[in-house]
Every structure is written in structure tokens, then in C-alpha cells.
Amino acid sequence: MGAALSLMAFGAAAADQCGAAPRLNVATPPGFCAGIVSGGFKFARGVQPLDNGDVLVVDLGGWEPNQGSVWTLHPGPSGYQKTLLMKDVDRPNGIVLGPDGLVYVGAIKRVFRFDPRDPDGTTRDVIGGNSGVEALPGIGRHPLTALRFDSKGDLYVNVGSGSDHCEGKKGKAPDPAKPCAEASGANALGALRKYQMQWPAGTVKSWEVHATGLRNSMALAIHPVTHALWQGENSRDAIHVAMKTLKNDNDLPHDELNLIEAKGNYGWPYCYDNNVASPEYPAAKCTKYRAPVRLLPAHSAPLGMTFYTGDMFPPEYKHSLIMGFHGYRENGHRLVAFLPDAQGAPLGKMIELISDWTAKPNQSAGAPVDVKQARDGAIFLIEDRSGRVVRLQYDLPAKASTGQ
């Protein structure tokens, strides 16, 4: 009897664990589980696993200037140990590994880099600051910086729009007869910039506006085979104010998945969804803009995504696009995978890797931001509302492993 009770207790304890971490109370496909590996961050926005097993975390700190920080999570026998690397950073958000093995962080108006092995945490500005390269705009409604290196080592950086839909002060509708000033010109907002880098120096040789008409490109990923740049678009709010037939904007517009091409214009603020004219610009010729390749749920708010190249997950997930839905409405609070189609593009079936992520006793609703793959094939993601760091792993289900 005592032995049976002990086994039952062990089973209950194991059910509450995901690997060595407490299990997140969510729904996952068979064989998957999500574990909470760390927490207590104020406004966590970026995560970057390192090859040595450490995990770097960027904490925005809040919307006030110079409250941000960067941390190291070091795995140990009793879980991950948090160590502060740097503080007083101005609203840091994006974090990526560079071709030189150094870590690049996007903050307000600048990108800087550091060596995680450097105990002094010495930083060097790459864009803005004292780099000699023109600073990022970092203004308006979407000032945060996301970034990705391509296969050639060049750097793509988002420049979010200063407004929601090019409205004026106090929400005044834009003039439909005039182009949106902030979306035009050599310093356009609502754009992606491409910085041509010089290696091994890791300095900027030149930069250009790579694509426009993109309201806020917080989710970026490079395809591992085609090396194409993909973008998750956070579409506008409050469309119902200009469309009186709508009671609210719960279902419109859709967020978007875009395949980015050089010099392409993707339509913001003139068009939405599959090249539909915005109500503020009813005469817009939307056919001249690039349409999204996939519509995402409205206000799902993709803030991070990565192509899966690991071997931990089942084979069908290879080269799938794993994306976090941060949104605070019904369509948010999820981690999904878009399986590849016959051509390898992330246009196949959508699978919910983490769902039922609503508020529960002792657990807040999920709000995933950055999503990255670790060396072992697990997925790390960060949440900005709860301050949690979550690790998604896959273990072969018991029946499959025993052949039953």
C-alpha cells in the first residue's frame, strides 16, 4: 500500500513537471509540454539561447526611458540562475546572435553589441549612439527595435510607424488626397531597413530602406533554405471608427504574414487584408501594393517567430514557422506552427503548439513575445506581461516509444 502511494505521488509530481521545470498549465499536442524555466522579469521582451546552455533575456523595464536590462540565465542542478549583465538600457527589445558570435541588441534609436563571455559587459554601438551611423527614428507609437541577420550577414531592422493609420493629432483622419508623409521618403516610418555589414569588423558599410508599407515589423525570420525574409505584420486598430457598419474591430483587419522583397511596398496605411482599400483612403489603387501571402487572425499580434531547424520535434515540424500570438484579445495567447507547403513556404496547416493559455488560478494569461530555438531543438519564448521564460520541449509519447 505504501509503495503504491509513493508511486502515485511520484506520478503526480512528474505530471506537474516539464523536464526539470514546473509545467505550464496549458494545452499542447501529444508529446509536447511547456515548462516555466524562469520568471520575475518586469517587462521581458527578448530571449536568445546560447550554445553553452545559457539563455539571455532582454527586459524592456517599462515605457519610461532607461529602465531596461539584459540578463543571463545559467542552468544548474536547481534550475536557472539569473545574473544581471547590464542595466539602465533605453527600452531594449530585440536580441539576436551575429555572424561573429557576439550578441546584438536593439534599443531606442540604436543597436549595440556585446560579448556574453566578457565579464565587464562592454558594449559597442553598431547603429546610432557613438557608432557614426545615423540613429534609428525611435519615435511615435511604435519605437521599439527588432532585428535579424540574413545568410550574408547583413542586418534587417524594423522602423515602426509613428501612428496607427497615419491619423493626425487627436485621431484626426488623414487627408485621402495626400500621401501619408510618415510612410514616404528616404527616412520612411513603417518600413524595414537593410544595413550592409562589413565583416569581421561588424560595422555598417551602408544602409537603405528595404521595404515600406509595413506598420510594425516586430516578428522577423529568415528561411533556412531559401534565405528569404518573412515578416509578421501587426495591422492597424480602430478600423470601425471609420467603418460605421462595424460595431467593433474584433475581426478586422487581419494581421499578416508577408514575404519581403526588396523595394516592395506592402500597403500601409492605404490598404489592408488582401489589398482592400482602407476606409480613410477609399480611392487607393491597392493592386500596386504587395498583398500578404497569408492572413493571420485579427489582432493576434505576432511579436516573435522563428523557422524550426531542430530535430527534437516530430519530422513534420521541420522548417515550420513557429510564431507567438501576443494579442490581448481572443485571438492572442497562443504559440502556433505553420507547417511548410510543398514548396517549403510556411503556408501549410496551422497547429497550436500552446493553447488554452487563458488566465487561471495562480497563472496569468499567456502573452508571448520573442520566440527562439535552442541548440537541442527546444523552443524558448518570453512573455512580457507575466515576466515568465517558457521552454517548449517534445518527448516521444510512451505508447509510441514502447510500440503499443
More confident: 58 or 244: 58
Determine the residue type at 278.
Answer: S
Model confidence band, residue 397 (pLDDT cutoffs 50, 70, 90):
low
Q: What is the pLDDT of residues 201-241, one digit of tens each?
A: 999 999 999 999 999 999 999 999 999 999 999 999 999 99
Spatial CB neighbours of 40, under 8 Å, sequence gap ≥ 6: 82, 387
Taking the C-alpha atoms of residue 68 and residue 105, their distance in angstroms, rounded to an integer, is 11
Backbone φ and ψ for 317, nearest 5 degrees, come out as: -85, -5
Torsion of CA 144, 148, 149, 150, to 10 degrees: -140
Would you state the pLDDT for residue 398? Answer: 54
**Residue in 109, 117, 127, 95 with CA at minimum distance from that of residue 202:** 127
Residue 225: CB atoms within 10 Å: 10
Opening angle at CA 280, ends 278 and 285, nearest 5: 50
Would you state the pLDDT for residue 169? Answer: 87
What sign for the dihedral angle of Cα 135, 219, 325, 369? Answer: negative
Section 255-259 average pLDDT: 98
Model confidence band, residue 389 (pLDDT cutoffs 50, 70, 90):
very high
Looking at residue 281, the DSSP 8-state letter turns out to be: -
Residue 276: is its pLDDT beyond 50?
yes
Weakest-pLDDT range from 3-7, 76-80, 211-215, 398-402: 3-7
Query: Is this model's pTM higher than 0.85 or not?
Result: yes
Model confidence band, residue 8 (pLDDT cutoffs 50, 70, 90):
very low
| CB distance 60 to 43 below 8 Å | yes
Would you state the pLDDT for residue 367? Answer: 96
Looking at residue 185, the DSSP 8-state letter turns out to be: S
Backbone φ and ψ for 219, nearest 5 degrees, come out as: -105, 115
Residue 1: is its pLDDT beyond 70?
no
Section 155-180 average pLDDT: 94
Determine the residue type at 2.
Answer: G
Greatest extent of the chain over all pairs of C-alpha atoms, in Å: 82
Taking the C-alpha atoms of residue 51 and residue 37, their distance in angstroms, rounded to an integer, is 17
Output the nine-digit C-alpha cell for 52. 553553452
Taking the C-alpha atoms of residue 62 and residue 385, their distance in angstroms, rounded to an integer, is 11
Place of cell 527589445: 93
Place of cell 546552455: 53
Torsion of CA 88, 117, 135, 207, to 10 degrees: -160
Determine the residue type at 362.
Answer: N
Taking the C-alpha atoms of residue 114 and residue 12, their distance in angstroms, rounded to an integer, is 43
Would you state the pLDDT for residue 14? Answer: 57
Residue 44: CB atoms within 10 Å: 28
| Rg of the chain taking only CA atoms, in angstroms | 22
Within 13 Å and on the Cβ side, how many CA atoms surround 25?
Answer: 8
Taking the C-alpha atoms of residue 222 and residue 154, their distance in angstroms, rounded to an integer, is 12
Section 95-116 average pLDDT: 97
Determine the residue type at 289.
Answer: Y
In whole angstroms, how far apart are CA 347 and each of 30, 88, 167, 342? 23, 41, 33, 9
Residue 171: is its pLDDT beyond 80?
yes
